[in-house]
Amino acid sequence: KLINRDYDILLFGQSLLDNLDSFPYWHSSGIQQFTGKRSDLRIDAYNLSQYSSLKADSLLEVIREAKDSKEQEEALQDLEEVLKQDVPAIFLYSPLYTFAYNTRLNGVRLGRPSLHSDRFLTLHRWYLKEDREFMPGKSWLSVIPWLFSPSEWQ
């Protein structure tokens, strides 16, 4: 039924993660063509709403081929407006994740997580900054006798 587009309404979930390329889902090249032959049906036709728009196609191509992130971001914003105007789908839910962390923790870069678990993607860069202080009566020169003391090497 999905391949034949034999539905009145389809409840579908999709997570693009950090991939902003929604080309297969909205570009007219992803429309299922009906020729009457079962062999002509494409399993890779992901445009489930059969949406067709020259403006959206053009923007999707810019998003896919853009070398500059600013150009890509502008095209994404324009595509969002086109999809809002044409309404090829009704978007029911898009999660907004809010995280809190202690400001003593450095190196935290959360970005825009796609999944709840994405908050740990930069965990290897997190650190606590500590002040190093010499013990009372010690200084950096205290290391010299330690270097030459054989009893400390064991």
Residues 38 and 82 in one domain: yes
- The 10s digit of each residue's pLDDT in 33-63 is 888 787 777 878 888 899 999 999 999 999 9
Q: CA 86, 4, 60: angle at the middle one, nearest 5?
A: 35
Closest C-alpha to 112, from 102, 104, 122, 103? 122
Q: Residue 18: which domain range?
A: 1-94
What is the pTM assigned to this prediction? Answer: 0.61
Do residues 81 and 100 share a domain? no
Specify whether 83 is located in the same domain as 101.
Answer: no
Query: How many domains does the chain fold into?
Result: 2
- pLDDT at residue number 34: 82
- Does residue 56 sit in the same domain as residue 120? no
Is the domain of 85 the same as that of 110? no
Backbone conformation region of residue 95, classed left if phi is above 0, alpha if psi is from -120 to 50, else beta: beta
Angle between the 54-65 and 69-86 helix axes, to the nearest 10 degrees? Answer: 160
Please indicate, yes or no, if residue 151 is contained in any of the structural domains: no
Q: Residue 88: pLDDT above 90? A: yes
91 pLDDT more than 80:
yes
The verdict on 40 and 65 lying in the same domain is: yes
